[in-house]
């Protein structure tokens, strides 16, 4: 049996995933202003579960009202969000997928125009989303509140029927603002070298574990390198070791392009995922995502040591990608796609409009 087809059991929680495909988190701007999930967002995700994805991850969902990143983003900061999410998780389960909610706080990337408050971050940073031009440095009291917001949100996810959560520690949002040496210049116990910059993430994980049921999957997504905010590969490898010791259920590497070399080690032949799989013993299960489109890409990323293959854009246009990728020579059509093609695969107009900002993804109907 090809590796991508093989079921996987999460040892700690007992969940069985039917294959090694993951629909990575994708913001799609289809939900409601009060933070409840819309039927359009539910139907887009359920169509991908029907297409055979082993794990279906939701869009990033904010744990605090002041952590919202975009218009049309569903939230998980209030119990009033639970009823709609139950419809989603029941549906995903009936279609055989493991459901994971990606929870996050935007930090200095949460626009003040949306949240009504000055964006918060690890330090006072230059910030285009702030009406004052700067983020506010989180006080000790803010940090305690934010950690609680994350763990309360995780509990709401469990109560909504999700199989687990993915903590969004990637892409420059609040958790990565604490991880980055340029955005976190604190000289208290929440800043310093990577062990201290990781403390915010670790305390969130510990707080979540105290609140959710034992059989709830807890994973973390990171960006191994973000030069702009001071996240580098070697710190990220140390972070992965810390996360392994915290016994997370999976580590999701957001590689951008899984077939590119490290920025800080350009001479080394290893791709980013390989850096982790060859440097660290007893790694948690690895999901790796970035620039996978066809069967050749899948095989190549599996040979780098990934346990799961995450995809985003190809899963938009090709909801049955998991079923078809079992064919050794699947080469799905590449972008652009017409609006009609995207409507046919359950994208609503707001999502299609959002995809127009992604280079060359949407073309005009002829």
Ligand X SMILES: Cc1cc2nc3c(=O)[nH]c(=O)nc-3n(C[C@H](O)[C@H](O)[C@H](O)COP(=O)(O)O)c2cc1C
Q: What does the binding site for ligand X look like in residue numbers (CB under 6 A)?
A: 24-27, 59-60, 102, 168, 170-171, 221, 254, 289-292, 311-314, 358
**Closest distance between ligand X and the C-beta of residue 73, in Å?**
8
Report the alpha-carbon distance of residue 339 to residue 249 in Å, rounded. 38
- Nearer to ligand X by Cβ, of 136 and 274: the residue is 274
Report the alpha-carbon distance of residue 191 to residue 189 in Å, rounded. 6
- Nearer to ligand X by Cβ, of 91 and 102: the residue is 102
Decide: 174 and 107 in contact? Cβ < 8 Å.
Answer: yes
- Nearer to ligand X by Cβ, of 72 and 136: the residue is 72
**Closest distance between ligand X and the C-beta of residue 177, in Å?**
15
**Closest distance between ligand X and the C-beta of residue 187, in Å?**
30
- Nearer to ligand X by Cβ, of 28 and 136: the residue is 28
Report the alpha-carbon distance of residue 151 to residue 204 in Å, rounded. 7
Q: How far is CA 236 from CA 97, 180, 233, in A?
A: 30, 10, 5
Q: DSSP code of 75?
A: B
Q: Please report how many Cα atoms fall inside a 13 Å half-sphere around the Cα of residue 36, on the Cβ side.
A: 11
**Closest distance between ligand X and the C-beta of residue 134, in Å?**
25
Looking at the chain, which runs of residues are DSSP E strands?
Answer: 8-9, 16-17, 21-23, 55-62, 98-104, 120-121, 136-137, 164-169, 217-222, 250-254, 286-289, 308-311, 337-338, 362-363
For the record, the structure tokens of 146 come out as: 């934010």
**Closest distance between ligand X and the C-beta of residue 154, in Å?**
16
- Nearer to ligand X by Cβ, of 59 and 175: the residue is 59
**Closest distance between ligand X and the C-beta of residue 58, in Å?**
8
- Nearer to ligand X by Cβ, of 84 and 169: the residue is 169
Distance, CA of 85 to chain centre: 18
Decide: 264 and 233 in contact? Cβ < 8 Å.
Answer: yes
Report the alpha-carbon distance of residue 156 to residue 183 in Å, rounded. 30
In sequence order, the 6+-apart residues with CB closer than 8 A to the CB of 266 are: none
- Nearer to ligand X by Cβ, of 136 and 160: the residue is 160
Q: DSSP code of 229?
A: G
Q: DSSP code of 132?
A: T
**Closest distance between ligand X and the C-beta of residue 360, in Å?**
12
**Closest distance between ligand X and the C-beta of residue 133, in Å?**
26
- Nearer to ligand X by Cβ, of 173 and 200: the residue is 173
């Amino acid at each position: 049996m090809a590796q991508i087809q093989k079921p996987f059991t999460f040892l700690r929680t007992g969940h069985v995933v039917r294959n090694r495909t993951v629909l990575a988190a994708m913001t799609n701007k289809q939900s409601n202003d009060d933070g409840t999930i819309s039927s359009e967002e539910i139907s887009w995700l359920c169509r991908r579960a029907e297409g055979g994805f082993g794990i279906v991850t939701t869009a990033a969902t904010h744990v605090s009202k002041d952590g919202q990143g975009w218009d049309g983003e569903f939230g998980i900061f209030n119990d009033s969000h639970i009823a709609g999410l139950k419809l989603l998780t029941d549906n995903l389960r009936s279609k055989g997928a493991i459901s994971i909610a990606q929870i996050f706080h935007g930090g200095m990337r949460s626009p003040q125009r949306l949240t009504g408050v000055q964006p918060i971050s690890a330090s006072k940073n230059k910030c285009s989303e702030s009406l004052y031009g700067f983020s506010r440095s989180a006080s000790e009291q803010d940090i305690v509140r934010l950690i609680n917001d994350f763990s309360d949100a995780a509990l709401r996810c469990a109560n909504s029927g999700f199989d687990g959560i993915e903590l969004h520690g990637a892409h420059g949002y609040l958790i990565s603002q604490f991880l980055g040496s340029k955005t976190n210049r604190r000289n208290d116990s929440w800043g310093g070298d990577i062990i201290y910059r990781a403390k915010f993430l670790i305390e969130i994980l510990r707080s979540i574990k105290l609140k959710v049921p034992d059989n709830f999957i807890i994973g973390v997504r990171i960006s191994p390198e973000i030069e702009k905010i001071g996240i580098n590969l070697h710190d990220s490898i140390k972070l992965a070791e810390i996360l392994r010791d915290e016994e997370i259920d999976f580590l999701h590497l957001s590689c951008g392009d899984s077939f590119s070399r490290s920025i800080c080690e350009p001479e080394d032949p290893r791709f980013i995922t390989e850096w982790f799989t060859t440097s660290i013993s007893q790694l948690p299960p690895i999901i790796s995502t970035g620039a996978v489109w066809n069967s050749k890409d899948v095989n190549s990323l599996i040979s780098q040591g990934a346990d799961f293959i995450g995809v985003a854009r190809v899963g938009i246009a090709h909801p049955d990608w998991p079923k078809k990728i079992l064919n050794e020579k699947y080469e799905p059509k590449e972008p652009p796609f017409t609006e009609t093609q995207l409507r046919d695969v359950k994208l609503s107009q707001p999502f299609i409009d959002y995809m127009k900002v992604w280079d060359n993804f949407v073309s005009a109907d002829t």
